[in-house]
Amino acid sequence: MIISAFPYLAILLATAGALKFFESKSKLKIFELLPAIVILYFSVMLMSTFGVWQQTDEINSAYKAVKINILPAMIFLMLLNADLRQIKKLGAKIIFAFLTASITIGIAFVVAYALFLPMLAVDSWKTFAALSGSWMGGTGNMAAIQLALNVPDNSMGYTLLIDSIDYAIWVMLLLSLVPYSKRFDRWIGTNSDKLDEISAKLSEQKQEVKGDQSSSLLFLLGLALAVSALTQYFAQILPTSTFFTTTTWTVLMVTIIGVLCAMTPLSKLFGATEISNIMLYLIVALIASRANFAELTEAPMYILMGLVILAIHGVLMVIAAKLFKFDLFTCGIASLANIGGVASAPILAAAYSRALIPVGVLMALLGYIVGTGGGLLVGKVLSLL
């Protein structure tokens, strides 16, 4: 049994690294159904259940110190790719469709939570606030909300469970609808002729990696940690409330700084994505290390609630499509850019046309910007219920 901090952190990073490596090198079908980061969560959770480590004072201190300091740095680096000037090229209608999808997801969470409320625990709103952050942005936004709202680590098991199972069903549904796009568009009374024009305007910013990039990696790592330290310092002197805690202020400030820095030459430096992914895997492993399978006693109800949320969102998006003349591609990519993020939105875009992949990428990056704030807003509404 592990009782000290270093081997505890070492086994978490080793597990994360091994799974990510096998995902990139292996052709196993399991990685098509479940991303490595989801398998990581449940693998570490399994180790926690069998008592591979003990929650000693040293391990608890290391857990808190690493998580609270690394997460703001990760958010900052993650947002460096979300250049609003590039996103603007998507056009007003597609951006409006994305925001419509975000709003309908928020509404769906509120309606479903109200329906299931008598069967849920008192603090379950925090679990769904974290899930809403993921379904409006990504796993990084979910982790940010978990920190901001102090969501119990054992509750995050439900969040990841819904996020993996229900999300996979939603992706398959949207992909299965691709052949019916022309029929849907005729029913709506619109077409997707302008999408090719929009795609032509987009240029994927590809970083040219030349020579030794250690200086760029070291600079971005140092800058991200400095931003984390500064935002935590200033958050301590801002007024707080039950909802706007010190950590909430930290997350919001680092989000604003990240969005602003994305419009500077910093966004062109190599390494932001690579470092933020490493931090994300470490944070997910840390969260899972405090969870236990024995505590997931209400999993079927949570999975059902997730499906209800997606069903309500789907119905509202069809209504919005009829009102605002969104074609099926725009509806589907707006929905999946929220719920699936960068990992799956380009896949759906490619199912329509490879020329549309940049649309999926940029729309998913927009989710990184709105996911944290949107999830916190949903959490505030759910807490009032």
Instruction: Return the number of other C-beta atoms located less than 10 Å from residue 20's C-beta.
Output: 18
Q: Give the tens place of pLDDT for each residue, 330-383.
A: 888 889 888 877 767 777 877 776 667 777 777 878 888 888 888 889 988 988
Q: What is the pLDDT of residue 198?
A: 62
Q: Are 39 and 164 in contact (CB under 8 A)?
A: no
Q: Which residue has the higher pLDDT, 142 or 221?
A: 221
CB contact set of 331 (below 8 Å; sequence gap of 6+): 97, 101, 317, 318, 320, 321
C-alpha distances out from residue 338 to 108, 136, 143, 366, Å: 13, 4, 16, 9
Q: Give the tens place of pLDDT for each residue, 49-86.
A: 888 998 899 998 998 899 889 988 988 888 887 777 77
pLDDT band with cut points at 50, 70 and 90 for residue 94 = confident
C-alpha distances out from residue 251 to 71, 231, 263, 369, 372, Å: 9, 8, 19, 12, 8
- pLDDT reading at 200 higher than 70: no
Q: To the nearest whole percent, how much of the chain has pLDDT over 90?
A: 24
Q: What is the DSSP letter of 204?
A: -
Q: What is the pLDDT of residue 1?
A: 84
Q: Are 383 and 243 in contact (CB under 8 A)?
A: yes
53 φ, ψ (degrees, to nearest 5): -130, 160
Distance CA 286, CA 272 (A): 21
Q: Give the tens place of pLDDT for each residue, 224-234.
A: 999 999 999 99
Instruction: Return the number of other C-beta atoms located less than 10 Å from residue 179's C-beta.
Output: 9
DSSP H/E element including 309 = helix 299-324
pLDDT band with cut points at 50, 70 and 90 for residue 319 = very high
Distance CA 320, CA 323 (A): 5
Distance CA 173, CA 23 (A): 24
- pLDDT reading at 148 higher than 90: no
Q: What is the pLDDT of residue 75?
A: 83
Distance CA 302, CA 143 (A): 19
Q: What is the pLDDT of residue 184?
A: 86
Three-class secondary structure of residue 327 per DSSP:
coil
- pLDDT reading at 301 higher than 80: yes
CB contact set of 104 (below 8 Å; sequence gap of 6+): 312, 313, 316, 317, 320
Alpha helices in 236-298 (DSSP H): 246-261, 272-288
Average pLDDT over the chain reads 83
Q: To the nearest whole percent, how much of the chain has pLDDT over 70?
A: 89
CA 164, chain centre distance (Å): 12
Q: What is the pLDDT of residue 14?
A: 95
Spell out the domain ranges in the chain: 83-202+214-270+295-384
- pLDDT reading at 278 higher than 60: yes
Mean pLDDT of 183-187: 85
342 φ, ψ (degrees, to nearest 5): -65, -25
Q: Give the tens place of pLDDT for each residue, 251-268.
A: 788 888 988 998 899 988
Q: In which region does residue 51 sit, left (phi positive, over 0), alpha (psi from -120 to 50) or beta (all else)?
A: left
Distance CA 295, CA 4 (A): 25
Place of tokens 């910013």: 205
Q: Give the tens place of pLDDT for each residue, 8-46.
A: 999 999 999 999 898 888 877 777 667 787 788 788 888
Distance CA 189, CA 205 (A): 34
Q: What is the pLDDT of residue 355?
A: 65
Instruction: Rank 67-71, 108-112, 133-137, 173-177 by mean pLDDT and report only the highest.
Output: 108-112
Q: What is the pLDDT of residue 95?
A: 87
